[in-house]
Structure 1
Amino acid sequence: MLRGIIPAAWKRNTDVVVISNIYNPEYDDEQLAAENDIYRLIESPDLCGIILVTEAFINPTHRRQISQLMNYRSDIPQIAVGSYFEGFELEHCIPLNTADSDDIADLTEHLITVHGFTEIDLLTGFESYSVSHLRIDGYRSALEKHGIPFDEDRVIFGDFWMPSGEKLAKAYISGERPMPQAVICANDYMAYGILDVFAEQGISVPGDITVVGYEFVRERHMHTPVLTTFQRSREALGRIAAEMLLNKVSSGEFGVLVPPRGKVICGDSCTCGIRPADLNAELSAARTKAFYEFLHLYNQLEQRLTEAHSMRDFCGKFVGSEYLLRNISGAELCLYRNWHNGAADDSMMNCYTLYNESLNGQSRNISRLELSALTERSGAPAVYYCSPLFFGDRPMGFVVTRYEIPETYDHIFRSWMKSVSNALEILRMKNDIKYLMECCNISEYQDTVTGLLNRKGFSHELHILIRKAVKRQPVFCLLLQTAIDRDNLSLKNKTKEIAIQQEISAALQVVAPSFICARLEPNIYAVAGLYTDEDMELLLRERVTALVLNNEKYIDLFGMDSFCISAVCTEYSSSTELMNIAEKELMVQADILRDSHLNTHYRQLISARNRLYSGREAPFTVEAICRQYLISAGHFRKIYKETFGIAYHQDIIRMRMMKMIWLLISTDLDISVIAERCGYDDYGYCLRLFRQFTGHTPNKYRKL
């Protein structure tokens, strides 16, 4: 399609700017979401019109995002080229496409008139896609034209991918479906799936059955026999789209569309046989692709880029690697002014010239949307590809590659872009003074995330404590394990988890300021000190429980049933022995917690308990919960106590007491204010409950 768009635009002395992401996953992927920042370039006032290639957007979320950006640009003409899919809501685009129904009719006509077939199956796409039904319409019209009855049982809905072809082939082989004379696949990938299974099972194509595809995906040489397929006239469609768009710009009228017709590309999966010229062209393209893959595999560009210490040095490392991007005429590295801080909304960019002997490494400042500044250096029309640079969830800018022939990059360009992004991140870290200072302050005994002691540091301090103990005074060790069985977190939630770990670590030092505190593993924390009496151990366990239950972010992400505590206290001859015993006890407690999750009513009731401990709203009454679960109050009270080992009304008191404990040790608030925050209007009643729960008055507890 680009080979049609580009020459048509150049003929009218117009530059072409191609705005595209790189990875384009089918489903939402948080690790790749930043690449879609590139589409904000649609907002550029330098654009005179937009051609949207709809079939390039396979993710419904991306379609909605693009629709919003396109609808914002009502000031310029727009054409949507290709099939229309769910998620697009384009208010100002006119649709343009080849006639899918006519193409499939021509392909069916070939099987009927050239090969004399009357028993023909059709494997089309998703039943919910309109394009799938258009292809059925073309198939049906060709059959009826020749007096062949249309049979719905001969139409099979697939998924436009190889597994549905494999499934159909196995159905033919097993006899689940009768073997027809020929099968038409509504795209080549489904046909490849059929051919691969037939080849494995010894089914002769075209001896036993003829298989044809649609769309002419250039991978025919990778399957046997070489597929007969149908080539849509995408180049002609691209040319027509560009001409109509520029007509609208110059005269105010798009003109009339006459959909271009495609053609059958013969292969060996029907008896027509492949044309030697077609096979040679495809093999030549495959050899070229393999050659560039070889160059990328053994080139040293990525290593050279990581050695750079400045942007000028970085740009200089590209010299001599032009061969990696075939047919390129030039490139610019465009970075957000504060790219190292992820300031994607910055309106200004620093652009660095690449692959230009006289200008290499020179920089200039342009507006983020000033696309004309990127095209002004070329004396003749060219095509410019804008591709996103990002690292993790942080957009850094984009790369602009220029071609002076109707050409585009291939999939190997992804590898080149990944090398550039990774090397820029390394350069950022090298020059980030804050990062360097943080690195210098981290010793071998410190945890890099929280600043607490790590396992090695904890063992070292514990060893010193044991040696200093007077008359072999017992040493206790308390372990806290969080996020039990909560490993499958998204990237966004992993970021939240790190913040929670830092909060818990800070709170741990508030709870146990005179003890040794450490983070042994990502979700295992330790507190150790000299044992004085049993009350001290119980007090510490109580306070650690309170700090977890009062971390709203933790409860939201993991739930209140996702942590456990173990504590051991006796005389040990070494820190290693003490830690081993404590960790074994922690494993026992974690197993007990997991077993509790197997209770019959656990899944039904845990959301209510999490809501109770989330702290954002007043506890629900038993009646309100019973209405939600459609059970009686008596039954609810019974199963709640059986599941959690505590009555619901006692759990409400426990939740409030834990909140009161946390506020007493972490704030200087007046006790009456704390009582009110914990849901008690009766101050005296609150004090009595607290004393029953802890054995101390609030004032005394605060001083412990």
Structure 2
Amino acid sequence: MSNDHRPLIGVITARASQSEQRQLLKGILSKADELGIDIAVFSNVYNFVEYFADVEVENKIYELVRSERLDGVIITSESLIFPNLQERIYEHIKGLDIPIVITDAEVEGYTCINTDVRSDLMNIARHLTDVHGIKDIDIITGPEEFETSRLRVEGVRKIMEERGLPFGDENIIYGNFWNNTGEDLAEEYLSGNRRLPQAVICANDYMAFGLLDKLLDHDLNIPEDLTVIGYEHIGERIYHSPVLTTYQRNRAAIGAKAVAMIYSKLTEAPMEDISISGCMICGDTCSCGVEKRYLRDELVEIRQMKLYNDLNFFGNFEQQSVTCRSISDYIRTLQDFSYLIRNVSGIYLCLHEDWCSRSHKSSVKEYSNNEPMICYRIISPEYGSDDPAVFTRGQLFPAELTGAGDKKFLFFAPLFSEGKEFGHFIFQYTTPGSYDPVMIEWLKITVNALQVLRMKNDINTLLECTNLSEYHDTATGLYNKQGFINELDNACKKLNDKEKLPLIMIRTGIFSDDSRIDKKNLSVRLDVEIAECLNRIAADINGFCGKLSDKQYILTTVGIKKFSDNHCKTGTAS
């Protein structure tokens, strides 16, 4: 670790706008602030439940973890749904000579922090048996092949056995950790296909919400007829009735502990003892009732989200952004609408130097750390210059991120469209609430507007060439066949009966069977080189030249007024 800068820890995550990851990042941010550490979060946008090949390019944001600027890396494994993405990220970090901590997974060769889900479920079961005197408990968990699903079942089984209470296979329901599993279980209880227990433990909140939503439409009363307990506390209880009693999985403590572990390795300071144990958060689905302090925090969050949702819904950011005619207009529009992002203090636009002319082929390759980029300041917590700064991709951001101040908590979000990578945004934040679903929508609007601006540039170039392309070859600028004939006709009208014009026909690739000559990139390059050569010759002899067809060119001169047949055997015009 260099002594001339604050340590910078990279955080690889996905679905960063979701409640679970915001909790984890809250712990990371708080502990980093306490220890004087900067944070760079790298996250994609579309990594939800399904895989979409057309947005695969967004995952190139994770290549930035190879930057030499990073002093450590945290990987939030739970957020990385797709196995191929996990493998690719582990490939990116292979060989990095910096501390690496992985949360919510056990990966050989790395330091890992994992919640003890078995212990957490034991605490939930104790609450039901010891506080509420419940003796008949079902548990709905995830897929049976997942170790974490089985660990949650084992936690409940352990407490039931300790208390001599019955608990067998008939008490265990395997699902998929999603709402529809809870809905299906409700149908089984309501139809009588499954006996109704005194309580059901849902191994995450999503399944509990599905169960509650389905039961709300029927006469089964909660908690009188059925006590329901969730797990994880994802923070969406207010949208369901009754308010769920759940167990908070202490993701914030996990995040804080990950930072502390890296700090200890960097500084050789003693490792801080941070407990990652969770706690019960009571609601109305058990007889304990709602704890107002937790509900108040959730309501404050929801009200803020609603405010920003309304600002975005009734604003005209999308309409204004697509009318931009230049990168300067685009930046001014982003500045005008930066208030739509909650808790953001800085926004920086980082574009590849060739963003406006990038091809799909150039976007799928892996770039080196020396790839040139340009950074535009949109807003910053302190005054900063509006002049764009040049830096390399491996630097992550310019050495002096103008206006950012000393403390840098940065979130990197990919900029891409139609399989083309343009660069990334850097959001400087004060709390993890900056990257919520509203910010994701803001980001999508900016990307679409940038693509429109790129297309306008192509269209303007095409319009400027409209008159030119009628009589000129668009690739080389030489006269095309019609243009050359017109120019030749004009030249011939100026000749007297005894004067002639020499025509030199040029054919390229006559003796080549190399099919590669027809490849677009090579063909265009040869066209341009040949055109430059012919233009030089034409200038020397006061002539003009053209491209008649693929690989066929023509050259003449008007500078020789008297020209005998011996001077040119290739053709004449009159």
Q: Which amino acid aligns with 1:420?
A: T
Aligned to 1:371: 396
2:311 to 295, 318, 338: 295
Q: What is the alpha-carbon distance in structure 1 between the residues aligned to residue 464 and residue 200 of structure 2?
A: 65
Do the aligned partners of 1:97 and 1:259 also contact (CA within 8 Å) in 2? Answer: no
- The Cα of 1:326 is off from its aligned counterpart by 1.7
Q: What is the alpha-carbon distance in structure 2 between the residues aligned to residue 374 and residue 198 of structure 1?
A: 57
Number of aligned residue pairs: give it. 436
Q: When the two structures are superposed, what TM-score results if normalisation uses the length of structure 1?
A: 0.59
Give the root-mean-square deviation of aligned CA atoms: 2.4
Three-state SS of the structure 2 residue aligned to 1:16 is strand
Change (3 A) 1:423 1:198: same
Three-state SS of the structure 1 residue aligned to 2:335 is coil
Change (3 A) 1:359 1:375: closer
Q: What is the alpha-carbon distance in structure 1 between the residues aligned to residue 221 and residue 328 of structure 2?
A: 61
Q: Which amino acid aligns with 2:340?
A: L
- Do residues 350 (structure 1) and 367 (structure 2) align? no
Change (3 A) 1:284 1:405: closer
Q: What is the alpha-carbon distance in structure 1 between the residues aligned to residue 258 and residue 335 of structure 2?
A: 38
Aligned to 2:113: 96
Aligned to 1:16: 39
Deviations 1:613-639 (A, max 9, x none): xxxxxxxxxxxxxxxxxxxxxxxxxxx
- Do residues 79 (structure 1) and 101 (structure 2) align? yes
Q: Which amino acid aligns with 1:367?
A: T
Aligned to 2:289: 273
- The Cα of 1:99 is off from its aligned counterpart by 1.0
- The Cα of 1:226 is off from its aligned counterpart by 0.7
Q: Which amino acid aligns with 1:279?
A: L
Q: When the two structures are superposed, what TM-score results if normalisation uses the length of structure 2?
A: 0.72
Which stretches in structure 1 are left out of the alignment for 5+ residues?
85-89, 444-704
Aligned to 1:561: none
- The Cα of 1:324 is off from its aligned counterpart by 0.5
2:233 to 201, 205, 216: 216
1:341 to 327, 332, 357: 357
Deviations 1:478-517 (A, max 9, x none): xxxxxxxxxxxxxxxxxxxxxxxxxxxxxxxxxxxxxxxx
Deviations 1:520-556 (A, max 9, x none): xxxxxxxxxxxxxxxxxxxxxxxxxxxxxxxxxxxxx
Do the aligned partners of 2:389 and 2:398 also contact (CA within 8 Å) in 1? Answer: no
Do the aligned partners of 1:71 and 1:91 also contact (CA within 8 Å) in 2? Answer: no
Do the aligned partners of 1:382 and 1:404 also contact (CA within 8 Å) in 2? Answer: no
- The Cα of 1:209 is off from its aligned counterpart by 0.7
2:456 to 397, 421, 430: 430
Three-state SS of the structure 1 residue aligned to 2:177 is coil
Q: What is the alpha-carbon distance in structure 2 between the residues aligned to residue 72 and residue 384 of structure 1?
A: 24
Deviations 1:354-393 (A, max 9, x none): 0259647531111011026367544432310000011021
Q: What is the alpha-carbon distance in structure 1 between the residues aligned to residue 465 and residue 140 of structure 2?
A: 59
Map 1:3-82 → 2, pairs under 5 A = 3-73=26-96, 75-82=97-104
1:393 to 384, 405, 419: 419
Aligned to 2:202: 185
Q: What is the alpha-carbon distance in structure 2 between the residues aligned to residue 262 and residue 157 of structure 1?
A: 24
Q: Matched residues, percent identical?
A: 37
Change (3 A) 1:273 1:375: farther
- The Cα of 1:301 is off from its aligned counterpart by 2.0
Deviations 1:103-148 (A, max 9, x none): 1110110000111001000101111111111111211112122222
- The Cα of 1:77 is off from its aligned counterpart by 1.1
Do the aligned partners of 1:22 and 1:35 also contact (CA within 8 Å) in 2? Answer: yes
Q: Which has the higher contact order (CA 8 A, sep 6+)?
A: 2
Change (3 A) 1:246 1:440: same
Map 1:402-413 → 2, pairs under 5 A = 402-405=428-431, 407-413=433-439
Do the aligned partners of 1:244 and 1:254 also contact (CA within 8 Å) in 2? Answer: no
Three-state SS of the structure 2 residue aligned to 1:386 is strand
Three-state SS of the structure 1 residue aligned to 2:259 is helix
Deviations 1:258-299 (A, max 9, x none): 652111111111111112332232222211111111111122
Map 1:435-514 → 2, pairs under 5 A = 436-437=462-463
Change (3 A) 1:267 1:421: same
Q: Which amino acid aligns with 1:393?
A: G
Do the aligned partners of 1:77 and 1:92 also contact (CA within 8 Å) in 2? Answer: no
Aligned to 2:298: 282
1:362 to 387, 391, 402: 387
Q: What is the alpha-carbon distance in structure 2 between the residues aligned to residue 375 and residue 119 of structure 1?
A: 62
Q: What is the alpha-carbon distance in structure 1 between the residues aligned to residue 274 and residue 33 of structure 2?
A: 22
Do the aligned partners of 1:7 and 1:406 also contact (CA within 8 Å) in 2? Answer: no
Q: Which amino acid aligns with 1:355?
A: I
Do the aligned partners of 1:28 and 1:61 also contact (CA within 8 Å) in 2? Answer: no
Change (3 A) 1:208 1:406: closer
- Do residues 203 (structure 1) and 220 (structure 2) align? yes
1:263 to 256, 275, 279: 279
1:145 to 162, 167, 173: 162
Three-state SS of the structure 2 residue aligned to 1:32 is helix
Q: What is the alpha-carbon distance in structure 1 between the residues aligned to residue 226 and residue 390 of structure 2?
A: 63
Q: What is the alpha-carbon distance in structure 1 between the residues aligned to residue 425 and residue 282 of structure 2?
A: 40
Q: What is the alpha-carbon distance in structure 1 between the residues aligned to residue 353 and residue 334 of structure 2?
A: 21
Three-state SS of the structure 1 residue aligned to 2:334 is coil
Aligned to 1:125: 142
Q: What is the alpha-carbon distance in structure 2 between the residues aligned to residue 120 and residue 293 of structure 1?
A: 40
Q: What is the alpha-carbon distance in structure 2 between the residues aligned to residue 214 and residue 337 of structure 1?
A: 47
Do the aligned partners of 2:352 and 2:373 also contact (CA within 8 Å) in 1? Answer: yes
Q: What is the alpha-carbon distance in structure 2 between the residues aligned to residue 167 and residue 406 of structure 1?
A: 34
Aligned to 1:687: none
Change (3 A) 1:150 1:206: same
Deviations 1:83-104 (A, max 9, x none): 45xxxxx554211022111111
The structure carrying a bigger helix percent of its residues is 1
Q: What is the alpha-carbon distance in structure 2 between the residues aligned to residue 260 and residue 64 of structure 1?
A: 27
1:320 to 328, 336, 343: 336
Q: What is the alpha-carbon distance in structure 2 between the residues aligned to residue 257 and residue 156 of structure 1?
A: 37
Q: Which amino acid aligns with 2:36?
A: N
Change (3 A) 1:349 1:254: farther
Aligned to 2:553: none
Q: What is the alpha-carbon distance in structure 1 between the residues aligned to residue 167 and residue 95 of structure 2?
A: 45
Q: What is the alpha-carbon distance in structure 2 between the residues aligned to residue 115 and residue 439 of structure 1?
A: 80
1:418 to 438, 441, 444: 444
Q: What is the alpha-carbon distance in structure 2 between the residues aligned to residue 379 and residue 11 of structure 1?
A: 17
Change (3 A) 1:28 1:175: same
